[in-house]
Structure 1
Amino acid sequence: MKSTTAKQKNNHKTNQNYLFPPEIWRKRNLLYYQDIERFYRFYVNSNSKVLEVGSGTGYLLASVNPEYGLGIDINEQAIEYARYRFPDLDFILEDGEHYNSNQKFDYILFANTVSYLHDLHKTFSNLASCCHPNTRLILTFHNPAWEIILRLATLLKQRTPIDNLNWLSYEDIRNILNLNGFEVICHHKQMLLPRRIFGLSWLLNKIIAPLPLINQLCLTESIIARPKINQTDTVKQHQTLTCSVIIPARNEAGNIESCVTRMPPLGKHTEIIFIEGHSKDNTWEEIQRVQAKYGHQWDIKICQQTGKGKGDAVRQGFAMATGDILMILDSDLTVRPEDLTHFFDALASGACEFANGCRLVYPVHPQAMPWLNRMANRFFAWLLSYLLGIKIKDSLCGTKVLFRHHYQQIAENRSYFGDFDPFGDFDLLFGAAKLGLQMKDVPVRYDPRTYGSSNIQHFKEGIVLLKMCLFAAKKIKFR
C-alpha cells in the first residue's frame, strides 16, 4: 500500500480549490464515463496486469480492478491527482509515444487516447515490447460521424475541448494496428445519448443503440486487438504443444473403436478422453474394451459421467485433460476425426485462439442435416454473430477447440454467465467472446452417422437455444 505524501495532499486540496478541469468534465458527463468504464470492466479480467495509456485522473484504470495497474499521461496535474485518489495504482508522467518498457501487461487500454496521439505508428511500435502473446489492446474512440456534434458541444462548454484531434475511422485504426504488428479481433459501437435525460438515455443506449443499422450511428467505437504471432514461434508450437481430445459418448457403442483407429496424431502427444453418459447400450463396456486393446498405442483415459447433458460431460473431460490444446469430438463421428489436424494447425499456427467447426461450407448430405435443420442452424449462427460481435457461420457444430489456459479463464469467469448451457457450445462461445479471443471457423465435412440415432430433440432443444440467445442478449449485447 503506497503512502499518501503531504505534497500529494496539498496538491489535492489545491485541485479542489480551483475545481480540477477533468473532474468538472467527468461530473458533467458522468453517464458517458460510466458507460466507458462498464465496457472495459466487461472485457478486462480483474486481477490482471493493466497499462492505461492516457490515464488522466485514473478512474478508468481503477474501475477494472487490476492486480497491478500502471497509468501514463503527459498531464502532471492529472498524474498527481490520480496518485492521491488511487494510491494502490502506479501513475507516471510519460508520453505514450515514447514509453518503452520490457514489463509485460495482460491488457493495454486506450480510452480515446488515439485521438490525441501525434504519432500512432511510434506508439504502437513501442508498446509491442509490453506485450506477451495473450496481451489484449482495448481501444475506444469517437465515431467520426459525430465530429460536428462534438465540436458544437465544445463550443457550448458541455465537454472537454477537442482542438486538433485525430478523427480516425475504424478502418484507419485497424490499418495502423496491422502495420505495427497487431490484428483486430472485434469491433463494437455503443451509446446514442451521452447525457442523462430521465429514462430516455436508458432507452436509447440500452435498447435502441445495439440494434442493427442504428448501431452504426453510435458515438463510441471500440476495438479489441492482439499481437500477431511470430512465424518462428508457430514452428516451435507445432513441435511442443500437446493435445487432449474429449469424446462424450452416449449410446454410441458402434462408434467407439473408430474414434481411436481414425484419430490422427496431434502435436507432441495426444490424449484421448472418453466420457460415457448413462448409455442404454453397451457403450461403457466398449470403451473399456477399446482402452485395453489400444492402450499401448494411445494415451486413453475413461470415465463415467456423474451429471447429465453433453455440456456437463465436456466440463468433466476438460477437468481431466492435461493437454495444451483441448478438443471436443462427437462420438457419432459425423465430423471426421481426421479433420482434427486442421483445428490443431489453426491454434498452433496462431491463426486463432478458438477454432469453431463449420459444417456449412461443403455440401451436406440430407440425412446428416435436413434442410430445416440447416436453416435453423444458419439463423442461430446469424443471431449469435450479432450478439457476440464476431462472425460465426455454424454455432451448433459440436467440434470446438481452444487452449487449456483459455478454458481455465472461461471457467474462472463462469459466474458472470452462470451454469446455463446444457450443450456446452454456448458456454464456450460466450466465455471466449468475453475474453476477447480470436475465433475462426474451421470447415469440416459433415457425414451421416453409421451407427445409432441422434440424441437431439429438435423442437425442445430449439426452444432452449432461443432462451440461451435471449440470455446472451441480456448479458452481452444489451447489458
Structure 2
Amino acid sequence: MAKYKKYVLVTGSGGLIGSESVHFFCEKGFYVVGIDNNMREYYFGNEGSTKGSVKQLVNTYKNYKHFNYDIRDLDKIEEVFKNYKFDLIIHTAAQPSHDWAAKEPHTDFDVNAKGTLILLESLRKFAPEAIFIFTSTNKVYGDLPNELPLVEQKTRYEIERSHPFYNGIDETMSIDRSTHSLFGVSKAAADLLVQEYGRYFNLMTGVFRGGCLTGSGHAGTQQHGFLSYLVKSILTGKKYTIFGYKGKQVRDNIHSYDLINAFHHFYQNPRQGEVYNMGGGRFANASILEAIEKIEDLSGKKAMIEYSDQNRKGDHIWYISSVEKFKSHYPTWKYEYDIDATIEDIVKNSAFSKDIFSFRITKTLDYWKERNWYFHNSLKNIFKSFVPEGTRVLQVGYGLGDILAGLFPESGVSVDTDKNILHSASRRYPHFTFLNMKPEDIKLKEKFDYVIFPNSVDHFYDIQTVLEKVKKVISNSSEIIITSLNPKWEITLSILERLNLKRAEPPKNWLRMPDLKNIVELSSYKIINSGYKIILPVHIPIVSSLINRIFEKTKFLSSFCLEQYIVAKKSQVEKTKKLSASVIIPCYNEEENIKTCVERVPKLGTATEIVVVDDGSKDKTATIVKLLQKKHKNLKLVSYKPNRGKGYAIKKGFEAATKDVAMILDADMAAPPEELERFYDVLAKKGEVLVNGTRLIYPMEDQAMRSLNLFGNLVFSWIFTWLLGTRITDTLCGTKALFKKDLKKIKLTGKSWGDFDLLFGAGENKIKIMEMPVHYQKRVAGKSKMKAFQHGLTLAKMCVVGWWRLKFLPLIH
C-alpha cells in the first residue's frame, strides 16, 4: 500500500452516498477503506441490501478494502484506525428512516449518535490531522420549516419571492422549538457532536445537512429514498401512496455525485466545525406531483397513485436548501445534475430499471441499424479490413457488441458508459465481456492485439486521456483503429436527424483529420495508415459499391467521404527530460478569480514557480496575491500602474520567470489550469517547440466564446496557417508554453495580447509549433476583456504584420 499517498475511510460504504464516495475517491487514486455491515437489509429487507453494491466495489477497485464491521463496535473501529493513517473520513453510515426509528429508538440512537461518537473519538486519538465529513440531514430542523408562510399553488407549495428563505433555507434556521421525529433527534445529536469535536478539539470537521440525497445508486425503498422509490413504483406498475398535502409538498433533491464533489472541495480546503445546508436548492427541486409528471414523460409509463389525507409525522411541506454559504467558501463547486438529469439518471441507470430500459434502447437501436443497414455494414467492414479473426480485441465505446462480434475475436471486451446498452449487449453476446467504465478511466489486466474506436472518439470528453490509458493494455505490436465522422458532413447529418432519417445523437467533437492525427501523435502513437471511406451510406445496387470505391481511391474526392479512419501503433518510448516550469498569469481586475487560479496550478516537473502579473488592476487583485504569497512560497507578483495591456503583462512575466519552461495561463481559467500538465509533457518529450493551446477542437461550454469571437477566430486561424506554414486552428488561446532559451530568440514588443509575438517569433526562428487541445469553459467570475470589433481590427493589423515579417521580408533578404 506504500504507493498510495492518501487514505480515506468511508462508513456505510455500500449505501448511496458511501458507494458514490468510494467510486469518486478510488478513481482519484486514493486508497479507500469501507465499513458496512449491511444493516440496511435489517431495516428494509432484501430490497435495501447493500451486498450487491459492496461486491461491485470490491471487484472493481484494487485500491478498495472492505470491512464488514458495525460502527458501534469500539474495538473494531479502533483496530481500523490503528492499521491505517487516514487523511479523510467520510461518515455516511446511519439508520435513515423516520418510521423505523419510532419502532426501535434504542437502535436508532445507538447507530446514529453513539456510532458517530466512537468514530470521533477514534479520529481524535489516532488521526487528529485527518478531515472528518459527516452526512447529516435537514431533519435536524424538525418541522420548523412548516411554519413558513407558504402559498398553495396548482402543483406545489411555494414561498413568496420577497421572503428571506425564497432562495432556500440557510444555516440560520433554529434546530429548537420543533418536532424532529426520533430519527431527526439522533441525527441532530450526531450533528452537534461533529461540530463540537471540531471547535473544542480543533479538528477539521464538516457537517453537511442534506435534503433528499438521490441518484441511480439509491435502492428505492418505501421508507427511504423518495425519488428513487417513486421511479421504481412507476416503472414496475406498483401503486404509490402520497401521504398528505395533496402531493404538493416540495422536495429538495441533490444528486449523490454533486454531494461527493462538495465533500472533495471541503477536503481540499477544510474548516473547523463548519456546517453547510446541502441540497438541490433552486437548481434541483420538485413537488411529488411535478416529479410524477417528469417520470411519466421520460418513461412513457403512467403512475398508479393513491392519496392519503394523513401526512407523515415530521414531513416537510416545503424544503429547499440554500447552498450559498458553501458556494461562498468554495466558489469553484457547481451542480452537474439538475432535477431532470437526476430523474433521468434514476430512470435509466438504476438496478431496477435495467431490464425495462435496456429492452427499449435495444429495440430503438435495432430499428436504426436495420433501417441504415448498409452504413452499419460498411462501418464494420472498415474494422474487418484491419483486424484478423482469432485475435484479442478491445472495443471502446459504441457498446452494442455487433461490430465486435463481426470481427470473430478469440476474446472480446467492450467498454462503455451506458449501463443499459451493456446490459442488453451482454445478453446478446454472452461470450464477450462488457464493462461499465468511463473511457478516460480504463483499467484492465488483459493485453489486447487490437483496440477499436467505432466513431466513439466523437463523443469522448478527453480523447488524449483515453488514448494514453489504452497504451497500458496493448503491446508494442498492437494496433488501434479509430473511425470518426467527417466534419464536412455535419450539416447534412443534422438535416437527416431533423427529418428523422437518422438517429439523433448528443453534440460531437467534430474532428478534422489533421486535428485527429495531432491528438493521436500527442498521445505518443505512430500513425501507420489513414484515409476516408463511404461517400454513399445508403444501398443502391451496384451504384453504391462503385461510387464508394471510386471516391475512396481518388485522393481529392476521398476527403469528402463520411468516415475518416486512422490506424496507429505505440511509438517508441520517448525520453522525458526533467524540467522546471514558470507559469505566468497576466491579469487585469481578476480579484474574483486569482486565488482559485493560483491554487489550481498543478506541480510541474522538478519545480514550479507562479508569476502573477497585475496589469494595473483597479480592484484588489494585487492585495489578494500578496496575501497568497504567505502560503505559496513559489508565488511571485509583478505589479505596476497604469494598465498597459496583456502583451506588456506577458513580456514582464517572461522577464521575471527563472525556470526552464515558460507557460502562459489566463486568470479567468477558461482553459483549466490542470491541463498545463499536458503542455509540460510535450516540452519534456518533444524538445524545442512552441505548444499553442487550441479551444476549437472540443465542444465549448455555453457562451464560453461568443459567436462573433468564434467566427473571427476561425477566419484568422486560416490566415495564420498560411502565414506560418503550419496548421493553426486558434491564434488567441491564452495558454501557451515554450522553453525559456527559445523565448530569448523571440522579440517581444509588449503590444496587443502577446500571442502574435510568440507565433511570429516561432515562425521566424524555425521553432516547431504544436497545437494542444484544451477544454474551453465559461468564466467562473468577472467579465471578458475581449471587444469583438476593436480587437478584430487588431487581428487584421497583425495579419498584415505577419505577412510583412514572414512572407515579404524573406523574399528581399
TM-score normalised per structure 2? 0.29
Larger Rg: 2
Tell me which of the two structures has the higher relative contact order, counting C-alpha pairs closer than 8 angstroms and 6 or more residues apart.
Answer: 1
TM-score normalised per structure 1? 0.48
